[in-house]
Structure 1
Amino acid sequence: MQLLFSIKNATVKMLGNTIFTDLNFNIGKGQHWAIVGESGSGKSALLQTIAGNLNATGGIISYPFFDEYLIEHPEQRGYITHHKLIALVEPRHHFRNLSNTTEFYYQQRYNSSDSEDALTVEQYLDTIKPLTGSNSYWTREKIISVLKLENLMHKQLIKLSNGEGKRLRMAAALMKNPVLLLLDSPLTGLDVDTRNHFNEIISEIAASGITIIMATSPYEMPDVITNVAVLKNGSISSQMKKSEFNAERSAIVKNTTIANNEIQALLNLRSIEPYQQIVSMKQVAIKYGENVVLNNVNWEVKQGERWALLGHNGAGKSTLLSLINGDNPQAYANHIILFDRKRGSGESIWDIKKKTGFVSPELHQYFPTDNSCLQVIESGYYDTLGLFRPSNPKQADNALRWMKALEIDQYARVLLKNIPASAQRLCLLARALIKNPPLLIFDEPCQGMDEHQISHFKKLVDTICSLSNVTLIYVTHYQHEIPDSVTKVLKLEKGEVVGY
């Protein structure tokens, strides 16, 4: 087997913590790897190690593909490093604004004037320069066609849906025509049709000569995958051919138990006020320039109802939620009643937010990560993106109790940025739950979670719904992630309601 990448007996550290000890992993020509394992097992860290972004010591790391490349392109010797031939697509984007000095903020995507500070998709692709002399199979035109970006070219980056942003990051990686393409949870947040299309895209990428290594769910492996590495507790516990891998056998089986008495006690800390109408929308329409995002939406949500909000990527789900959560100023130009009060009748955004517990992929993307997990959850009392005041001992204690309910209390004193992505998401879910609001909005809450975490979270949601009169709006692209307590469905397609 001709090696493309090899790491032998290496120790890998991040922020002073040892991630891998005695790490050994080889990638051969013609192989395409899936990396699987429970949350926190080190999947993302292994991709970052291969990309050269983490400090590896005490072993030997070699990139034979780079030596081969220099033989084929001797004119580039001394001008490039092996890093230029590796592309990593991460779950979070790193888009910058036009001034290239400050990060975007969460509500910016819904404010027309502020969103103008973002590049369009076309402008962003213009900034990516393919490597001179590299395989040019993936031309700009081909990438735009294969990844279906034609209708997004004039859209600002900040306004892209979760799935659209993922497609753009894949496009940026392919424009570099890399030798190794590293994908971290690439299918997360994609609708069913896009996931099926992704399988075809991955096959074409592999056929073009690019080697693929992807961290993924054991139940979601593209056809082109040839080998599987199973991670457990920061080490590669087994490696095998895909044909020998059994997802069910590799699953981590844990008992999922919910302490009903403790959840009831937490819910009793703050009672839910009664309302006639949690949400009432009549002929709601949202436009940005000539682009119609929502059209003639009628929807009524009564207290205690539990809804699933479904639709393809870009169907308008996030925009619809932004009207309910107080983040979209176009709510004032529409007939919208929230918590028995018409928008524009004198209520503030904070009046709405204090009644709503909210989490979404976009909120996760823009949430500051330099608070401890306990501080992040306590900030839910104040609806701020982080805790900007002294901690209240009683509230911190309640935050810890919710962390225990979600099985993440071991991270209480750890900075949010230093824990696994799935645990970060669970922290934001605890932040949404802590004030026991009348309305919970969970937008793709299970992204990045392993099977046990998903099962535990669903049972927790069902328990909360059985013990309280909370109203729930739940968004997902995976049918098996919908809690049993959800009994109503609103489906969007191209900004219009197509089914209840």
Structure 2
Amino acid sequence: MVTFEQCRFLLGLTHQVRITQLQIAAGQHCAIFGANGSGKSALAAVIADQAELLEGTAVLPARIGWVSTAQQQALIEAERRKGDADILDVEVDPSSARDIICRDHVEWSAAQEQQLQQLAGVLRLQQRLDTAFLALSTGETRKLLLIKAILQNPELLVLDEPFNGLDVDACAALHLLLAELQQRMTLVLVLNRLSELPAFMQKILYLAHGEIQWQSADSGISAVELAELAQLNQLQQEPGPLPAKDRDRFTPALAEQTLVKLRQGKVQYGERVIFYGLDWQINRGEHWQITGPNGSGKTCLLQMLSGDNPHCYTNDLQVFGYQRGSGESIWDIKQHLGLVSNSLQLQYRVGCPVLHVVLSGFYDSIGLYDQPSALQIKLALEWLALIGLEAKGKDSFQSLSFGDQRLVLIVRAMVKHPTLLILDEPCNGLDELNRLKVLALLSVLARSGESTLLYVNHHAEDKIDGIHQVLRMTDYQAPTYQSDAI
């Protein structure tokens, strides 16, 4: 089904991918592992026929489905650009989830509608098909793109980190769906966790430095090979001490012991209640984990705290001693915050060096528009060294892999030693090595008592030592919504 012999591909404008030899037979379901920046997503894009062949021999099937973060990002940007039409006084309706799914089909048959409803039922997306695409959560967007790809009835389905952003129940539903799909199409999955590897997979590739360093035998995946792969993923070092504060740009001290106070919090869009009746208080040094299914309001709640959601003004909300809507500026709030989230990563499209991205954390900006001091540059380089990316300080942020971008944004959030550090699925896209490194780093930060952590994640194994408080969003759901959620 897939054959590459002595191939060189051009991906995008400048990135080249070389594949000496690779064969994937029909029905030989394949998983791709590797460290962040190893070339996993690039190889998946090549297999999905998204690159230009410069030399060599490549054979691919006619019908290929592809789901990736890059695809998700492109769709979000295209929808946001529709807002530019307002400048031209042109009214443009936002695309719904159904519009995105159906737009590539010339005709829409009753059979396709039936299949759409079945897939939406499996992934619990029925109630969201007529919702604006940009109103979907990260996990819901991934489900939508998967449905769209399956409806194209591909011979080969390439999924780049399909479990990213999905909660526990959604991951279980996706495993069941993949087990059904593998009977009628060949699957290629990019994965970061061995725990995500479906039992039916028959081939594993491990990448390093853009090349296939190791692969399992074509006869299937043995227990010995799984142990070898686990060894390749092992953590080799513990994080060192955290870099110091800058003398000029750091989070100012707060007199208040209570950082956040929300009374009877409620978020509603139209007739859909996301959550209601939430009384919540965050005290200094009181670390919280926030749990709940995709679409239950976790990200919305965190965006209210950071001032990135207008519902911060419709609720009785105090943040860092300010009653929201009482005349405070957004910078009064952001000076005390560090933030890592999927939406921030999708928005950080400024073409600047990696070092500038870290330095922008001192100024709470997307991109660097101030002249940093010598000390700030020194500290930013120390943070990059802590995550093993000091050699990439001059590289373009956009040239990094998704996982390396996430690492950079994590240290960007930490450089000013914020009073409140918001971590919305910080380990998305990280390989085993870097995930363990980041969790250890955050555990050190939690124990230091300097920053208060708010942590959203969907994986029980991604534990941060020192977090003992739990906010369960399912306790604040409308009953009709709770039954539909994953």
The corresponding residue for 2:221 is 242
User: Given the alignment, which residue of 88, 97, 109 partners 2:66?
Assistant: 88
**Is contact 2:101-2:145 (8 Å) kept?**
no
Which residue identity is paired with 1:170?
Answer: L
SS in 1 for 2:312: helix
CA distance in 1, matches of 2:358, 2:475: 35
The corresponding residue for 2:427 is 446
The corresponding residue for 2:317 is 336
| Structure 2 residue 444 is matched with structure 1 residue 469 | no
User: Given the alignment, which residue of 33, 50, 61 partners 1:53?
Assistant: 50
SS in 2 for 1:118: coil
| Structure 2 residue 102 is matched with structure 1 residue 102 | no
Closer, same or farther: CA 162–56 of 1 in aligned 2, 3 Å: same
Which residue identity is paired with 1:38?
Answer: A
Q: Deviations over 1:232-271 (max 9, x none)?
A: 23222232222456444313334223222xx253478746
SS in 2 for 1:165: helix
The corresponding residue for 1:112 is none
Stretch moving more, 185-194 or 225-234: 225-234
Q: Deviations over 1:271-322 (max 9, x none)?
A: 6513221111110111111110120001111011111111111111011111
Which residue identity is paired with 1:227?
Answer: K
The corresponding residue for 2:351 is 370
Q: Deviations over 1:34-83 (max 9, x none)?
A: 111222221111111112223443321113x4xxxxxxxxxxxxxxxx3x
CA distance in 2, matches of 1:264, 1:497: 44
User: What CA RMSD, in Å, does the superposition of the two structures yield over aligned residues?
Assistant: 2.8
Closer, same or farther: CA 226–95 of 1 in aligned 2, 3 Å: same
CA distance in 2, matches of 1:104, 1:421: 26
User: Given the alignment, which residue of 208, 211, 214 partners 2:189?
Assistant: 214
Which residue identity is paired with 1:213?
Answer: V
Stretch moving more, 452-461 or 220-229: 220-229
CA distance in 2, matches of 1:206, 1:137: 22
1:380 to partner: Cα distance: 1.4
**Is contact 1:130-1:176 (8 Å) kept?**
no
TM-score by length of 1: 0.85
Superposed counterparts of 1:398-477, under 5 Å:
398-477=379-458
The corresponding residue for 2:25 is 28
The corresponding residue for 1:187 is 163
CA distance in 1, matches of 2:430, 2:284: 29
Which residue identity is paired with 2:38?
Answer: S
TM-score by length of 2: 0.88
Which residue identity is paired with 2:163?
Answer: L
CA distance in 2, matches of 1:489, 1:220: 25
Of all paired residues, the percent bearing the same amino acid is 29
Closer, same or farther: CA 254–414 of 1 in aligned 2, 3 Å: same
The corresponding residue for 1:296 is 277
Superposed counterparts of 1:304-343, under 5 Å:
304-343=285-324
Closer, same or farther: CA 345–218 of 1 in aligned 2, 3 Å: same
User: Given the alignment, which residue of 163, 175, 179 partners 1:199?
Assistant: 175
**Is contact 1:34-1:228 (8 Å) kept?**
yes
1:414 to partner: Cα distance: 0.7
Closer, same or farther: CA 55–394 of 1 in aligned 2, 3 Å: farther
Which residue identity is paired with 1:89?
Answer: V
| Structure 2 residue 1 is matched with structure 1 residue 9 | no
Stretch moving more, 227-236 or 413-422: 227-236
**Is contact 1:356-1:438 (8 Å) kept?**
yes
The corresponding residue for 2:244 is 265
**Is contact 1:297-1:497 (8 Å) kept?**
no
